[in-house]
Structure 1
Amino acid sequence: MSTNSQIDNVIFKRNGVNQEERFSDALEPGNLKLHDFTIEDWLLFAYNFAKEVNFFETDNDKTPEGNWQEFFSYFGFSKDNLPDGIPKRTEKEYAVLKESITKTLSTANINQDLTPHLTLFVCFLKLLELSQNKLNLITKKHLDFFYKDILQIEKLPAKADKVNIIFELAKKLPKKKSLLTQNLTQEKIPTVKN
């Protein structure tokens, strides 16, 4: 064996990885969501969109009296605390708003004090989650269809990992013939003699 310690460090102190450890979670089709809006995201989107929808009083359908943002006052949204509208999803303030909505919804669920029109809207958003979950499964189904039906690639059977073993014999042991035994398949592998 080499006496150079740098070579020994490279050869003997190397951690291996198996095939599962090389797979990136980012490539897993289940981690890619085509539609990733939550109820909180929808409520923030609807509040932002509501400023574009005119509100008309029942006795005057000619001139708008404002917009529909007042519809969301239960969640504490107002022009005073959100003067620039809803922040972008990547900003910290957006995460704070989502957390605030989650707390408000859980409190409303316990106290049963959500207004009827908001209750109907939240129920609609919860029903929308069902179709959203089905939509998010399309990427996996599409990949399965593409590989199986279009490319006609069959899955390979499982194969056991292979291991290369490097070792030095102790110098003061009596010389004996020995075999390494692999635990998984109980195959006998002869040792290399010098």
Structure 2
Amino acid sequence: MSTNAVDEALEQAEYTKVIEVGRGVLSQAGKIFIDNLLGGSPCLLVADERTWKAAGAALHDQLQAAGATLTEPLIYPGQPTLYASYDHAEEIREKLRATGALGIAIGSGTINDLTKLASGELDQPYGALATAASMDGYTGFGAPMTRDGLKITMPCPAPRVVVFDLDVAAAAPSPMAASGYGDLSAKIPAGADWILADAGG
């Protein structure tokens, strides 16, 4: 998608106002988030051990150097793989509430969805620092979540700011990119399925 197409999309977007994609943009992420999301608000960084190493620590250092107010980051273990369950979203939500912070998700699908839902339930914006091309929903509305044993998509707004460094994504494990291709290809039969389901009433 060209820069003009992204700009046109952002003009029409209800929630997402800034998208920065490119090589090396991680080095500017702190300023981007301060200028377009945080202002003077405190910040909660949400990551797992792998995404913290890939991009979170660098963002933390940038924000700290710029004088941003940082709460203690919420860093989940790298193993076992973090699961998008509602109890994790509740944990993030309550930490956001207790600290008065705005969240920045550092990761891909699960971390983004958890932070998105937690922020949405507090009716506050959040940002996403993408780390892999493993899915196509960084700016999507809603979060797929497991709650009470059922997988449902829970409504919540898209991020206000997304930063996606292509060098960080390229360094992610190769199965992450394969997952992203799978996510895109699944949209073809899924689109037909949604049309048929709607027509069937």
User: TM tier, shorter chain?
Assistant: under 0.3
Give the alignment's TM-score, normalised by structure 2: 0.24
TM-score by length of 1: 0.25
Larger Rg: 1
Q: Greater relative contact order: 1 or 2 (C-alpha under 8 angstroms, separation 6 or more)?
A: 2
